[in-house]
Amino acid sequence: MATPTSNGKIRVLLIDDDPDDHVLTRDLFSEIPGDKFELAWVSDYEAGIEAICAGEHDVFLLDYRLGERTGLELLAEAMQRTCHGPVILLTGQSMLEIDMAAMEQGVADYLEKGRLDATILERSIRYAIQQARYEAELKKQVAARTKDLEIANAALKDADRRKNQFLATLAHELRNPLAPIRNALQIMKIAKDNPTVIEQSRAIVERQVRHMIRHIDDLLDISRITRGKLVLQFASIDIHEAIAAAIETSEPVLDEAQVTLELHVSEEPIIVHGDRLRLGQVFANLLNNAAKYTEPGGKVMISSSQDGEHAVVHVKDTGLGIPAEVLPQVFKPFTQVNRTLSRSQGGLGIGLALVEQIVQLHGGIVTAYSEGVGKGAEFIVRLPLEGDANPEA
């Protein structure tokens, strides 16, 4: 739409090749009280198209007869150049076909010159401008909606891609432990009388089964959370109980990864309103990840403190770190950095999604930090202290 004039007048352009019509139209405008209009005139076809494209007028009065050609041809050509504007078509006499064709081309009004007076002209101009405003507003809304839909569509495509990738990972992760289990069973069969070999094989089976159980439990949990079916057992708990339970769960993984665990917890209890088991699961997931993504000989630290109204737990490691561009994504389900299917002891890419969901159900937040690849990672869980808690659950 044209921008308003500095004097606030409505800018009207007459496109008409007849100078007498210009004079008549000018006279009509002078009869409209209030001096609200500013009338300009172009008499040739090309100048008319240029003016519509320039968009410097609020409304165009377009004569149907323009020498050899017609106002409707002019409009069609302007439209081809993607130029639009509120147009009122003026004709010598009323003809249904012209009226219909004008409507089809989006003309705002169709006026017969012989019957024109100042009142009709003013009203027609106002309606044309109003209609153009509605159309512009509608276009704006459609454009905004289209943008929203494009964003939603891209998100759906991304989710679909992740899900496909996830299915491949899932198949791989569930199949992975089966080969060592089968081998161990085979060895147990052969080495019936050798207790050392039997014990080694049993330990292999136990470790692999533990992995599978962990994956399947995570899967069940994420599906429960997605369906809003995860029930939390809230109680008044010391955050250190959950940390202790997590360490117990994660010890075999930390040992296996040959990383040392450092514990820096506050001596005072830090009481939150939470689900002991689920918070234990949160810290265990973070410890397991720290072990998984830290080279042997590395360190994992867990600490607790109280910060204002929050219990704060840090889980930090000296491991592989997380590239800055991936950091904002790590809590999204199925996100994995540089994941290759050949990696053993991998995961499903849902551990951190679970962590975030459970923390949020406690009214808390979890954030991830890393100074980059090779520089370790840190996860910080903040939970409201009891009394300040307002869990969503």
- Where do contacts with ligand ADP occur on this chain (CB under 6 A)? 289-290, 293, 317, 319-322, 330, 335-337, 347-353, 377
Judged by beta carbon, residue 12 or residue 259, the one nearer ligand ADP is: 259
**Which residue has 């339970």 as its token pair?**
245
113 vs 231: CA distance, rounded Å: 76
* Phi, psi dihedrals of residue 300, rounded to the nearest 5°: -125, 135
Judged by beta carbon, residue 95 or residue 301, the one nearer ligand ADP is: 301
Give helix 71-80 / helix 45-54 axis angle, nearest 10°.
40
Task: Write out the DSSP string of 316-348.
Answer: EESSS---TTTGGGTTSTT--TT--TT-TT---
Judged by beta carbon, residue 51 or residue 313, the one nearer ligand ADP is: 313
Which residue type does 334 have? F
Rounded to a whole number of angstroms, the minimum distance from the CB of residue 350 to ligand ADP is 6
Judged by beta carbon, residue 65 or residue 375, the one nearer ligand ADP is: 375
Beta strands in the chain (DSSP E): 10-15, 37-42, 59-63, 65-66, 69-70, 87-91, 109-112, 235-238, 260-264, 271-274, 299-307, 310-317, 365-369, 378-384
Question: Which residue's CB atom is positioned nearest to ligand ADP?
Answer: 347
Judged by beta carbon, residue 72 or residue 320, the one nearer ligand ADP is: 320
Judged by beta carbon, residue 170 or residue 244, the one nearer ligand ADP is: 170
Instruction: Mention every residue, 6+ apart, whose C-beta is less than 8 A from residue 38.
Output: 5, 7, 9, 10, 11, 12
